[in-house]
Amino acid sequence: YSFRYHTDAVGTLRDPLIFKTGGDYYHKTFGSGRNRWGDYGKAQVDPSDDLSLWVVDECAKVRAGQDDGNGGSNSSRWGSWWAKLSPTLTLAAGPSQAEGAGGTTAFHFTVSFEAPVCVPVQVDYVASNGTATLLDGDYQSPGTSIVIPAGATSGTITVDVNGDTKREPDETFHVTLVDVNPGVLGSAITATETILNDDPVPTLSIADAAASEGNAGSSTLSFQASLSNPTTQTVTAQYQTTDGTATVADNDYLGGSGTLTIAPGASSGSVGVTVSADTRCEPNETLSVTLSAPSGATLGDAQGTGTIQNDDDCVPPTVTVLAPNDQEVHLIGEPLDLRWNASDDVGVTSVDLALSRNGGGAYEDIALAEANDGSYVWTVTGPETHEALLRVAAHDAAGNAGSDVSNALWQIVQTIAVDPDSPVTELALGPATPSPAKGSMRIAYALPRTSRVRLEVLDVQGRRVAPLVDGELPAGRHRATWDASRAGSGVYVVRLDTGTKVLMKRVVVTR
């Protein structure tokens, strides 16, 4: 039963300590261990629920002090009182279950009465963080109340837990009852839920990497190491670089070892290898990074291959010798126009010119680091040769070089006055010696005046086999040499043409 003092605010309920003795009494338990005594003559039980007791005139003696006597010091008070039983609500222990790898999983909390209630009951509650938090997305913010239907003894509070693949310890959060209407809260008003981790230990793998080396300074080859699923633990592993076709000794990269660290919640980390830049033309080169001794994870693919991509110019210039290039004969001392064509995908930076007098066996420099203008005038020097070749080498900025040589041997000969003191009065062509010949033969001729001379060897069908002299010569006696070692056996004609007169002699080549 409950009562209130006249000085109490409306709604205040107090329990009496001493009950007035009546002529008759009753005893009612109200479905629990809380017994109530009263006078049948004044008390009425509410027939709607058989739980509510209404007293109209009954009085209760309120024990305000210790004196219950009949004297003036009696501290008891009398007042009207009434009684109505309130249901007691309790909260069961929280569930423990796995969160799942995705979506949501419902976690249920049960609230219950000791007996059915005849009216709907609203239960207010709050959820609060434990080691599981709303901020970390461990569970979703639930509602704030549920309603237990009339006649029911229990209801369910549901909190949705977010599934994930993050490796973490078991986590908890709490549900607390804060109010019930109608009814009273029991002693068990807080329940703790446990989210059981069902995610595996992550697997750590390292991927391959590639980077251009550059032409100056350095660049970084970044190897990405990733986890199969995140974890709340710090993950570490040791790493070590190993030479492949790229080597530390060749200054391709800076080798090393160390510790890879992936922070809690992160899904990956990286290992950086410094690549040394250069301008050398070389193929792509490789190295590797190997992981070992993992902590907080197991190893999957433990080795990554790094490719240093060559970005240097590897294309050499293209060169073509244009002249001399056709079995020509040139005199010592004459100015000879050496001509070529050279090109490059980036650009030709310089050209070197060289002469071989023995068919390509050895070369002597004519000019070095010349501009690529396609022409260079060279004063022909001795000694004589019938196996001259011009080589033109072109260079680009990357250090690539391309070259070409004359397509055919050409000659360098000395003009010889047979008898400088005896003037020549008419054009003459002497016999070739020796004849027949297997190798070189000498051909003598005389000019009465300075003339433009063309001396050449023809086959019997009039086709030119070898040019011997083509240029202006002074008056006097001269000779030329023909290397017939590459000519087939047979009869040939030596033809001397000064523009005003032509002389011819037969020669024989044998094998």
CATH classification code of 203-309: 2.60.40.2030
Query: Distance (Å, rounded) from C-alpha 434 to C-alpha 443?
Result: 9
User: Who wins on pLDDT, 12 or 232?
Assistant: 232
Query: Does the fold of domain 415-509 match that of domain 318-412?
Result: yes
Q: Which residue has the tokens 């049948």?
A: 40
Q: Can you tell me which residue has the tokens 């060897």?
A: 457
pTM of the model: 0.48
**Tens digits of residue pLDDT in 146-184:** 999 988 889 999 999 999 888 889 999 999 999 998 888
**Architecture of the domain whose range is 88-196:** Sandwich (2.60)
Structure tokens at 157: 């509070």
Residue with tokens 């549920």: 146
Q: What is the CA radius of gyration of the chain?
A: 58
Which DSSP letter does residue 13 get?
-
Cα(206)–Cα(11) distance, rounded to whole angstroms? 71
Fold of 415-509: Immunoglobulin-like (2.60.40)
Task: Express each pLDDT in 274-298 by its tens digit.
Answer: 999 987 778 899 999 999 999 999 9
Spans of all domains in the chain: 2-84, 88-196, 203-309, 318-412, 415-509
pLDDT at 47: 55
Least confident piece of the model among 170-174, 238-242, 331-335: 331-335
Fold of 318-412: Immunoglobulin-like (2.60.40)
DSSP assignment of 328-343 equals -EEETTSEEEEEEEEE
User: Is residue 329 within 8 Å of 469, Cβ to Cβ?
Assistant: yes
- What single letter denotes the amino acid at residue 80? S
Give per-residue pLDDT as tens, 33-65.
444 444 444 555 555 555 555 554 434 444 455
